[in-house]
Amino acid sequence: MSRKILLVEDNLDDEALTLRALQKIDLAYDVVVAHDGVEALDFAFGTGPFAEREMHSKPRLILLDLKLPKIDGLEVLRSLRSNNETKSIPVIIFTSSSEEQDILDSYYLGANSYVRKPVDFNQFCEALRQIGLYWLTLNQLPPLHKGLCAS
């Protein structure tokens, strides 16, 4: 089973805050950072600069921001959910947006959860701790972390 979290975040301050919070809560997972939607999909599908990545090391969890350059978070989510190799990877929308349409679109496209980033650092850490506890410890993935359907 992969011990990787894919963090998709274009804001360097939010990236640093998330990495700091993940380190503080000590999840024992490697974090790979993608700074735009293209990088996220390249990592997920093992293409572009990640073509040499072993495909069995798919991320165990994806923390996905919505407002991204090149390809936005909703399009990343749509691509992940349309591919049998990535459709079962838990995707948590982790964003500062509280727009109702973003929430609706995220769930419609197959997000597993939608979490608004807290502003307070301690609350931010607690949100990530709870995400990690559920999605990395309690949640049961399909065998071999493969897609849900063979078709």
User: Is it the case that residue 25 has pLDDT exceeding 70?
Assistant: yes
Q: pLDDT tens digits for 101-140?
A: 999 999 999 999 999 999 899 999 999 999 988 998 888 8
Query: What CATH number is associated with residue 83?
Result: 3.40.50.2300
Q: How far is CA 4 from the centre of its chain?
A: 10
In a domain, 150, yes or no: no
Mean pLDDT for the stretch of residues 26-53:
89
Number of domains the chain is built from: 1
pLDDT higher than threshold 70 for residue 40: yes
Average pLDDT over the chain, rounded to an integer: 88
27: Cβ contacts below 8 Å, ≥ 6 apart: 5, 132, 136
Residue numbers of the domain that contains 13: 4-145
